[in-house]
């Protein structure tokens, strides 16, 4: 833990220093740029996107924002500020529309604060002049069109009036001329009214509500702020790395790590014979009950090691019984993909629904297996393991075997603790990368608090479950026994 803290401190110092320097550099670059912002109130205006007849004000204002940097406006700004290069005029210019307003905010960013201010104000003024010129052009064009139309209609009216006043015009022709004259008079009145209305069209494009001023740098320079931000980010990254490393460090490591930490390691999951030898030396009395439990939540993994241990004990001609509470790592209740009607096991025996001798599955001449039974889901073992029937079951198993091995359960936990109370010895299986040191310590404490002897720890290197190979004649015997038991019931 101290080494981890030392590495964490070194990492924090390095990250704070490096990111602080980077932040200061970025801030110093930022200090060289100055912003100036001018705000415009835009009025709806004829001949422009944002017009009195506009239907979608937001879209129209977004279009107006694009027109701020149009070529015509940029050329006018360049002429006003003395900048001939269009790129120099347009560089660093941004326009935004504040939500739910008729405002345009023009921001210019330059290394020269005075130039930024002049450009922002020039853009605001020239853009308004551009809008006003567009409106004036539109109004002038419409006025000219109306004037020409009015002149034409008056000429027609004069011609029709002369024709009506001429001698020799028939009554029918005079009546027709009266209708045409009346229609022209009405049209002339409409055009004159439209011409009068056009004269009252507003040509106010808007106004600058906030002239551009240089933004204050604040109480602290940007370089210092950047350094502080970079150092803070470096510290946060270092703390996160230390936290993740601490979580990883809490996981069980290799067998060498367990030995170095002071744990009694008596074997590994891939060397069942060595584990058998240690158990037989530590438990010379017969019969003996051994609990093989996983440290943490990987309770099913110990069933694989338990199966390998039982096979090893059977090869030594010791009558052995394996009782598994969670056989999901084995692929089923002794026989892989066995139909549901052959799932009888420990649950049915404890509930009085099955006979023990008919439920034990032979696996060779010296080994018997008692699967969990019940449904395909893991049963709730608490009440069953605490019942008097389980006490009687352990007694019956001692009469049928020299070694009884319980597996497929986790410690710490209530199920494992109940089983440990009926065992002569307990072996804890610790899995690299899955079990934690805290879970291992808690499991050992639970064993020490009970009557069973803690034999030590079995190290499991592979994080994935590995099915122990079962010989074909063992599988055939198990299946045949299950079929006979089903038929007998």
What tens digit of pLDDT does each residue of 271-321 get? 899 999 999 999 999 899 999 999 987 667 888 899 999 999 999 999 999
Residue 485 pLDDT? 54
Listed residue (301, 355, 351, 361) closest to 325, CA to CA: 301
Residue 371 has pLDDT above 80, yes or no: yes
| Inter-residue contact 461 to 257 (CB < 8 Å) | no
What tens digit of pLDDT does each residue of 321-337 get? 999 988 877 754 443 43
Residue 29 has pLDDT above 60, yes or no: no
Q: Looking at per-residue confidence, does 94 or 364 come out higher?
A: 94
Residue 250 has pLDDT above 50, yes or no: yes
Residue 398 has pLDDT above 90, yes or no: yes
Q: Read off the pLDDT band of 162 (50, 70, 90).
A: confident
Listed residue (298, 437, 441, 459) closest to 4, CA to CA: 437
Q: Which two tokens stand for residue 298?
A: 């990987």
Residues 6+ apart with CB under 8 A from 236: none
Residue 376 has pLDDT above 60, yes or no: no
Q: Looking at per-residue confidence, does 397 or 21 come out higher?
A: 397
Q: How many CB atoms lie within 10 A of CB 29?
A: 12
Which of 322-326, 348-352, 474-478 shows the lowest mean pLDDT across its residues? 474-478
Main-chain dihedrals φ then ψ at residue 321, nearest 5 degrees? -120, 130
Residue 109 has pLDDT above 90, yes or no: no
What tens digit of pLDDT does each residue of 48-103 get? 888 877 666 677 888 888 989 888 899 899 988 888 787 778 888 999 999 888 89
Residue 236 pLDDT? 82
What tens digit of pLDDT does each residue of 402-422 get? 999 999 898 988 888 999 999
Which runs of consecutive H residues, i.e. helices, occur in 166-217? Answer: 171-198
Calculate what percentage of the chain has a pLDDT beyond 70: 80
Residue 1 pLDDT? 47
């Amino acid at each position: 833990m101290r080494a981890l803290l030392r590495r964490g401190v070194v990492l924090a110092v390095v990250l704070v220093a490096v990111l602080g320097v980077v932040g200061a550099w970025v801030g110093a670059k930022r200090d060289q740029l100055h912003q100036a912002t001018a705000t415009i109130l835009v009025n709806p205006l004829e001949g422009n996107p944002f017009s009195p007849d506009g239907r979608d004000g937001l879209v129209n204002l977004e279009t107006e924002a694009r027109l701020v940097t149009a070529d015509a406006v940029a050329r006018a700004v360049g002429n006003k500020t003395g900048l001939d290069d269009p790129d120099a005029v347009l560089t660093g210019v941004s326009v935004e529309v504040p939500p739910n307003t008729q405002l345009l905010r023009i921001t210019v960013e330059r290394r020269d604060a005075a130039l930024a201010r002049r450009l922002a104000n020039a853009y605001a003024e020239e853009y308004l002049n551009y809008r006003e010129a567009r409106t004036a052009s539109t109004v002038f064009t419409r006025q000219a069109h109306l004037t020409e139309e009015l002149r034409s209609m008056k000429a027609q009216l004069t011609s029709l009036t002369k024709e009506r006043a001429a001698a020799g015009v028939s009554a029918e022709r005079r009546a027709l001329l009266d209708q045409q004259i009346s229609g022209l008079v009405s049209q002339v009145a409409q055009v004159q009214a439209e011409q009068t209305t056009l004269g009252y069209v507003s040509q106010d494009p808007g106004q600058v509500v906030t002239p551009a001023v240089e933004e204050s740098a604040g109480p602290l320079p940007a370089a210092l702020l950047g350094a502080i931000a970079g150092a803070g980010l470096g510290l946060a990254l270092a703390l996160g790395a230390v936290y993740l490393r601490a979580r990883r460090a809490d996981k069980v490591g290799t067998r060498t790590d367990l030995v170095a930490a002071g744990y009694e390691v008596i074997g590994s999951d891939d060397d069942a014979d060595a584990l058998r030898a240690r158990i037989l030396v530590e438990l010379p009395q017969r019969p003996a009950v051994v609990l093989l439990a996983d440290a943490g939540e990987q309770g099913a993994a110990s069933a694989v090691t338990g199966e390998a241990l039982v096979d090893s004990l059977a090869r030594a001609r010791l009558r052995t019984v394996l009782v598994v509470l969670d056989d999901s790592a084995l692929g089923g209740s002794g026989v892989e993909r066995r139909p549901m009607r052959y799932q009888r096991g420990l649950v049915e025996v404890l509930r009085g629904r099955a006979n023990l001798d008919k439920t034990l599955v032979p696996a060779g001449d010296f080994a018997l297996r008692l699967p969990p039974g019940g449904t395909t889901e893991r049963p709730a073992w608490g009440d069953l393991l605490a019942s008097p029937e389980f006490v009687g079951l352990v007694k019956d198993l001692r009469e049928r075997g020299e070694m009884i091995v319980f597996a497929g359960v986790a410690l710490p936990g209530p199920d494992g603790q109940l089983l440990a109370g009926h065992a002569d010895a307990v072996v804890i299986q610790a899995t690299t990368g899955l079990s934690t040191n805290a879970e291992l310590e808690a499991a050992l404490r639970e064993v020490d608090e009970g009557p069973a002897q803690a034999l030590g720890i079995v190290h499991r290197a592979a994080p994935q479950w590995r099915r122990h190979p079962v010989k074909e004649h063992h599988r055939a015997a198990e299946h045949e026994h299950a079929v006979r038991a089903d038929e007998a019931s």
